[in-house]
Each structure stands twice: as structure tokens, then as C-alpha cells.
Structure 1
Amino acid sequence: MDAGVLARADEAVALLRALVHLESPTGDATAVGEVVALLTATAATLPGARCRTVPSAGGPHLVVDVPGHGAAGALPPVLLVGHADTVWPVGTLDGDVPWREEGDVLAGPGAFDMKSGLVVALTALAVLAEAGLDRRPARLVVVADEEVGSSTGAAVVTEAAEGCAAVLGFEAPHADGALKDARLGSTRVRLVVTGREAHAAVDPEKGVNAVDELVDQLLAVRQRLAAVATEHPGTLLVNAGGVSGGGRANVVPARAEALLGLRFGDADVEREVLGYLEALVPVREGATVAAEVLSHRPTWAPGAASAGLLAAVRAAGAAVGVAVEARPAPGAADTNGTGALGLPTLDGLGPAGGGAHAVTEHLRVTSLLDRVRLVAVLLHTL
């Protein structure tokens, strides 16, 4: 199998180069669609592969079913998860983050997060097919909106996971190359307060100040969530990421809002906090307050299911001379959903590198090829 990987090294780099040059910021349906079209054309070369797309406002999601081979072909499939969107706007290649090939390093917008992970998955499937080895069926799902919380992609992943035996995520690994066996839950909430406009000097008593109401609500929220974090150490992170409202000093403002970023390390704490926010009541008569969930990824806590899968990955790693470690990650991704469902899940199977979401974004070719070897053997032995 090692010879098959080396034979496809140039092809893998060429695919990554092509994917990176198709800049695909989240929300640009045309740009994301071009990436999905290239991925579809590549996947369609796999024997028996069936490709379909799921439309969304931000571009198509891709689902590819690849049949197994031999006795393992009748087993439940393994789900491979990735995304086509990046955080970089079109034009980044001509600006701060040009494509670079320097020795073992490849760099460019979206190369590390996570187009190289998609290359690993597709190349491993191609190597396996060429080798003719027994293997489970595989189902690859590539979502269009992961970078903003997968508001439409999450349902596609959940549906694709039905009937699957395990889930492998191809996001970037930890900085030292370790895999990710759990993730904090991530929820983005918008607190929206409405009041009533009035002249701030002539008849202020006729108004209901939405900005004042929001300030009082945020103070109460901060106090309550601080108490939760003290009672359950290490399970809750809160960030007030934006506040807006009103606009003129001589008008009592009728609307104000705040954006909250919440991270959870425990499902019970997640339920408690979200339930509290949904039940907020106004302080002022005539005001309203509502918590709108903008995106939600449930807590994926460490568990026996993922530990069992990790043992299989470590065995595959030993077979190809790659040491495999894993630990929880603070960032959220599409594997939060499958891990929270109790499916054996591991993430971070993209190649080692660094600089995700930064101008230093890069990966190492040797690590990319090591990941291809690891995933190919895993799909053969799992």
C-alpha cells in the first residue's frame, strides 16, 4: 500500500493546489459550488461511487457513497466528514496568503483548514480501491457552511451518519499532530431587546430604553453564568462578542442586541445555560427580551465509543509506523454532532501544519502522505 501512496503523491498535491486556487469563502454559493464540482469529479473516479448534492443558500453540500470490497463490503459504512468553505475572501491568493510550495511545506488560504483533509480522504479511498483490499463501505460528506456553524450542513451530516459504524473527521489535528477525541459544544446566541422610541427630553417617560434593558440583562447573565462556571469548573466559556443598539442620543432607543459565544464541556451545563437564556424576562414594563440561537453544536464529551475507535486507529498507525495520540479540542466542528449522538468519532485526521485562519496557514506534505497511509490501512482493518 505504501507504493500506492507514493505513486499518488504528486496527484494529491495537484488536487490540493487546484482546490486552494478555487477560493471558497462561506456564503459564496458559486465559489463553494466550484469546489464541490471538483470534489465530485474526483470522487466519481472511485469504482462504484455515487455522488449527490444537497442544495443550500450557501452552496451545495456533497454526499458520496463508495462501496466496500470483499467480505467487509457488507458491513455498515464509515462516515468521512469535511467541509468545502473557508474563512478567506476571494482575492486572498493575490494578497496576504499566496499559494506556496517550499520543500515539505504547502501554504495557501484554506490549505490547512481544511482542503488538505479532503485530499487525504479522497486519496486514501483511491489507494484502497487500486489495491483491491477488503474494506468497509465509506460515505463522504462535505458541507458548505462549517465555518459559520453549519446552520444547514449539520442536518446533512446527521442524516449521512445514520447506519454508520464510525465517524472520521478530516479537520486539522492538534499542533503536535494528535487527533481530537472530544470537542467543546459551541452555541452562538443573539440577545434581542425591544423597547419603545420617544423623545429623550420632551417625553422620555413614554419611551422604553432598549439599551438600558440590554445592559441590565447582560449584567444579570454575566452574574448567573459566572456562578455556573464556579459550580462546574472547566465546563463553560462565555464571550460577549458584540453589542449594538439605538443610534441617536436624543431618542430613547427601541432596539438593542448582543452576540454571545458560548462553549460547553458538559451536556448538562449546556442544557442549564441555554434553558436559562431562553427564559429571560424583561426588567422594564413594555420591554421584550428574546434569545435567538444562531448556531448550535452540541457538546461531544470523551467516552468509551471514541476510545474504542482510537484503539483501532492506533493499531493502524502501528502498521504504518505512525504514533497516534488523541485528546479533546476546544474548537467545535461537524463531528460535535456525531460524537454527541454516541457514534464512535475521531477528528483531526487532516495533515499536520499550522496557522488555521491566519496568514501563516500551511501544512506538511510528509504528514499528508502519512495521513493517507493511516486512513487507508484503517479503512481496510476497521
Structure 2
Amino acid sequence: MISLSEVLGDLRDLVECESPSDDLAAVARSAEVLARVGTRRLGVEPERIVIEGRTHLRWRLGSGPTEVLLLGHHDTVWPLGSLATRPFSVEAGIIRGPGCFDMKAGVVMALHAAAELPDRDGVTILVTGDEELGSPSSRALIEQEAAGASAALVLEASADDGALKTERKGVSVYDVLVQGRSAHAGLEPELGVNATLELAHQALAVSRLGDPELGTTVTPTAARAGTTTNTVPAQGSFSVDVRVISRTEQDRVDAAMRGLRAVLPGASLDLVGGANRPPLEAAASQALFEQARTTARALGLPDLTCASVGGASDGNFTAGVGTPTLDGLGAVGGGAHAEHEHVVLDQLVPRTTLLAALVTDLLARRSVATNRVHATGGPRP
């Protein structure tokens, strides 16, 4: 039986150990707190996996290969000291505190759900420490763990009103670098090649690569150029954020970005970057979402809804290796990365119960399929 008081106690422990992604020591401290919480609930110590100084935790439960992967992260965007102005609190049915919604509540839910399973064999819990940075050190670990699994369940927070996330845009990130030629802006500007003007041409060209009908956004963002107010700028750059629903669109935009050419005589371009996360396409989530709806109905819970969102998660990686993936199974609330970040208290236990039942159903389906193969004389896995 899932205890709300125990879930809250564990969540408090995690929230009160601040874990900004860019602070390796803070992430390591958070990992130790999480390891103690998980060991208390599961009776098993996690593996501590340190890559490039960042600490990730993995619980492989049972003796068999991974069938169901529960995926989350314990790093947050909140800097050290945030607790001083935003302490952990529970008031009027709302939980507050830095990182409570994104996504420490989801991590606690994964641990408590796994503790409820009648059979844990084949369940792996992976909690990484650099998701908010784009998962630079954990991507290969996530993909490796997901590659052989039948399902990846991502404990990121839900969409509005508790909707599960069945579609996430893929992300590409670029820097467009411009080389011009400096000159005195007052005496002989005609001798220069103005990097700022070239940047303007390129930013306009890049902005036209989006396709609203297909959900593709291509957005020039931070720009930099020049050294002094009286010098024609010789160098400049701007960053580009790309969000796409399909791999086809991700490839199209990438080809167009690599096809950019300088407009001003004497200017030259260079491009850095590329795809960061593949899209989590709806097809990767459809069957799992229907299974989750069936499970929720059997539990007497309200009918589940789903949403397509622009933000990416590590679920993009699991879907990218071909593993059926369902995201947004974590806390219900809102305000990720914002001052009003919060979790709805009375949804914690029902959502954790749903997660445990969904994992149980998925493992049971695996067993039925395996027995059917054995009964027909097929090869053992």
C-alpha cells in the first residue's frame, strides 16, 4: 500500500538537497540522498555511474534483462540557495520547492511504484544527473539501457491537467559563425565586411526554414558581433533553436542549415552543431498510452488524456532507439523552471498506483508472450 506520508517524506529529502546541473558536487550529494531513499524503499543499493564527473544511479531489479525501464533525472535548473526563498512546503493541497515538479516527485514515484510490484524481475530504474543540460554524459547510458527493453516509462511531470506526453518535438541546436573584415567605422567603413549585416541576412534566412503547418520552429536566438562602437565588426555569431515533430523535418532543416551561404562579398560562414534529440513521435507512444488508459480504467481512475509538447526529455532518446516510450507519467502540477513550480498533493498516490499497475501489466504481457512462444516450440529468448 503506497503511503502518502512516506512519499512526502522522501520528496522532502530530495528537494531539500539542491542539485543544480552545473554543480558536480551538488549533483553528487543529491545522488547519495537519492541512493539512500531508493535503498530504503527497494532494499537494494543502486549502481553509481559517474561519467565526466556527473553521477547517475541505476537499479537493475531481478536477475533478468531489462524489460521495463523507468527513467528520470535528479538534477534541476535551480541554483544553490533557492531553498532559502522557496523552501519545501505543503499547504492547501499544493507542494512547493525547487525541482519538486521537474522532476523529483517523479523520481520518488518511480521508487515507490517499484516497491509495490509483486514481481520486479526485468525492471530497471535509471536516474540521471544531467538531463537539464541536454544529457551530454548520460545519453549513451540511456540509449544502451533502453535498447533491449520492451517499454520505457518516463517519469517527467505531466502536461496540463495530468495529461500524458505522447509526442515530444525533437531538438537541434546550431551556431552560425560569420567571418567578415574589420575597418574604421568612421574613416573607411567601405573597406570592411560587416559581420553584423551578414548575421542579419543569415538570421532572416534561417527564420524562414520553419513550417508552422508541420509544427517546425526554427528560431534564431542569442546573437553576438563586434568589439567596439567605431569598428566594422569582423566576426559574429548567433544560435539557432530547432524543434520538429518528425525525423523527416529534422533532416530537412539540417540540410538547409548546412546549405547556408554568405550573402556579402568577402564574408564567410561556418556552422557548428546539429541534432541534439530525435523526436518522440506519436507512433512510439500509441500502444503504451492505450495500455495505460486500460489500466487506469481498471483502477477506477479518471480517463487519461494525452498531449503533444514542444519540450524534449530523455524519452526522445529511448524512442530514438526504437523502444516504445510513454512520457509524462510523473507528478501532476505545473510551473516547471518557474517561480510557481508546484505539485498537486492528492494526485501523488493515484499516479504512483497507476504506474505500479502499468508496470505489472506490461510484465504480465511479456510473460504471456514468452509462454506462448515456448508452448509452440519457438526459440527461448
Determine if the alignment matches structure 1 residue 320 to structure 2 residue 299.
yes
- Asked whether the equivalents of residues 48 and 67 of structure 1 are also in contact (C-alpha less than 8 Å), the reply is no
The equivalent residue for 2:269 is 289
Q: Which of 53, 62, 82 is the aligned partner of 2:49?
A: 53
Indicate how the Cα distance of structure 1 residues 111 and 27 shifts in structure 2: closer, same or farther if over 3 A, else same: same
1:279 CA drift (Å): 2.7
- Asked whether the equivalents of residues 254 and 274 of structure 2 are also in contact (C-alpha less than 8 Å), the reply is no
TM-score computed with the length of structure 1 as normaliser? 0.88
Q: Which of 181, 186, 191 is the aligned partner of 1:196?
A: 181
| Inter-partner Cα distance in structure 1 for 2:72 and 2:275 | 18
Q: Residue type of the partner of 2:94?
A: V
1:295 CA drift (Å): 6.5
| Inter-partner Cα distance in structure 2 for 1:207 and 1:98 | 55
Identity, in percent, stands at 37
Tell me the secondary structure at the aligned position of residue 291 of structure 1: strand
The equivalent residue for 1:207 is 192
The equivalent residue for 2:138 is 153
Q: Residue type of the partner of 1:114?
A: M
TM-score computed with the length of structure 2 as normaliser? 0.88
Indicate how the Cα distance of structure 1 residues 219 and 15 shifts in structure 2: closer, same or farther if over 3 A, else same: same
- Asked whether the equivalents of residues 24 and 85 of structure 1 are also in contact (C-alpha less than 8 Å), the reply is yes
Q: Which of 222, 226, 236 is the aligned partner of 2:207?
A: 222
The equivalent residue for 1:66 is 61
Deviates more, 1:145-154 or 1:195-204: 195-204
Tell me the secondary structure at the aligned position of residue 282 of structure 2: coil
Q: Which runs of 5+ in 2 are unaligned?
A: 363-381
Tell me the secondary structure at the aligned position of residue 5 of structure 1: coil
Query: Once the two structures are superposed, what CA deviation does each residue of 1:261-295 show, in whole Å capped at 9, x if it has no partner?
Result: 11101211110111211232222344331222276
Query: Once the two structures are superposed, what CA deviation does each residue of 1:126-147 show, in whole Å capped at 9, x if it has no partner?
Result: 222xxxx234422222222222
Within a 5 Å distance, the mapping from 1:117-128 to structure 2 comes to 117-128=106-117
Determine if the alignment matches structure 1 residue 40 to structure 2 residue 30.
no
The equivalent residue for 1:20 is 15
The equivalent residue for 2:223 is 243
1:205 CA drift (Å): 4.9
Determine if the alignment matches structure 1 residue 31 to structure 2 residue 44.
no
Query: Once the two structures are superposed, what CA deviation does each residue of 1:208-262 show, in whole Å capped at 9, x if it has no partner?
Result: 3221211111122223x15xx16xx133112222211103122121211112211
| Inter-partner Cα distance in structure 1 for 2:272 and 2:348 | 40
Tell me the secondary structure at the aligned position of residue 140 of structure 1: strand
Within a 5 Å distance, the mapping from 1:51-200 to structure 2 comes to 51-57=47-53, 59-67=54-62, 74=64, 76-95=66-85, 97-128=86-117, 133-200=118-185
1:195 CA drift (Å): 2.1
Q: Residue type of the partner of 1:44?
A: T
1:297 CA drift (Å): 1.2
- Asked whether the equivalents of residues 11 and 105 of structure 2 are also in contact (C-alpha less than 8 Å), the reply is yes
Q: Which runs of 5+ in 1 are unaligned?
A: 69-73
The equivalent residue for 1:271 is 251
- Asked whether the equivalents of residues 154 and 326 of structure 2 are also in contact (C-alpha less than 8 Å), the reply is yes
Matched residues, number: 360
